[in-house]
Amino acid sequence: MFRFTGKEIRDLIISFIVIALGFTILYSNGDYSHIGLVFPVVMIGVGAGFIFHELGHKFVAMHYGYYAEYELWPTGLIIALVSSFFGFIFAAPGAVVIYSNGMEKKTNGIISIAGPIVNIVLGLIFFLILGSLGDFVYTETGAIVYLICVLGTRINFFLAAFNLLPIPPLDGSKVMAWSVPVWLITFAIAALLVLFFGGIL
């Protein structure tokens, strides 16, 4: 059964708000006069990207019979906020902790790669919605949806590539420990998506 504890929900909400604020600061480029308008828009892209990324880990882990719970990392929250003022965001506010007495590298790798794959899929969904807007984009509501989709695409592809870096405790280190070819292919796809869509959006 997929259950959430009160602490887990609290940790997810706090992490979500901090990461959303970090991306808002990042995309404000030093101009914080419209931060109140940008923040709600960013929250949608980050909400989808961050929450579903962590749920991807949790649900796959529980599918394999492990108890898994998201826990925030206070230091990571601070680093995320501080780094956002310098043109980059260290998006590691916490992680899904898997409780087990031992786990095969393959299982750990599959659980770890679930989050980045979710981000890649979400990024593509945001982009497809973006491409289907047509003339609606010229309306006031359409302009907001356009901005949400642009940020949703960028943020999700960034989260996928960032989390696939082969640096502990990021997902990439566990995926690489399981299979270098799988890691290389997935990371290459995520990195290319970041470079490609970062250039055209």
Residue 130 makes CB contacts below 8 A (sequence gap 6+) with 146, 149, 150, 153, 201
Element (H, E) at 68: strand 67-72
Q: Is 69 a known active-site residue?
A: no
Element (H, E) at 161: helix 140-163
CB neighbour class for 24 (10 Å; exposed up to 12, middle 13-18, buried from 19):
buried
Residue 51 makes CB contacts below 8 A (sequence gap 6+) with 12, 16
CB 183 within 8 A of CB 166: yes
Helix (H), strand (E) counts: the chain: 8, 2
Structure tokens at 127: 């982009």
Q: Which candidate in 8, 54, 71, 104 is catalytic? A: 54
Question: What pairs with residue 72 in β-bridges?
Answer: 94
| Distance of alpha carbon 75 from alpha carbon 93, whole angstroms | 8
Active site residues: 54
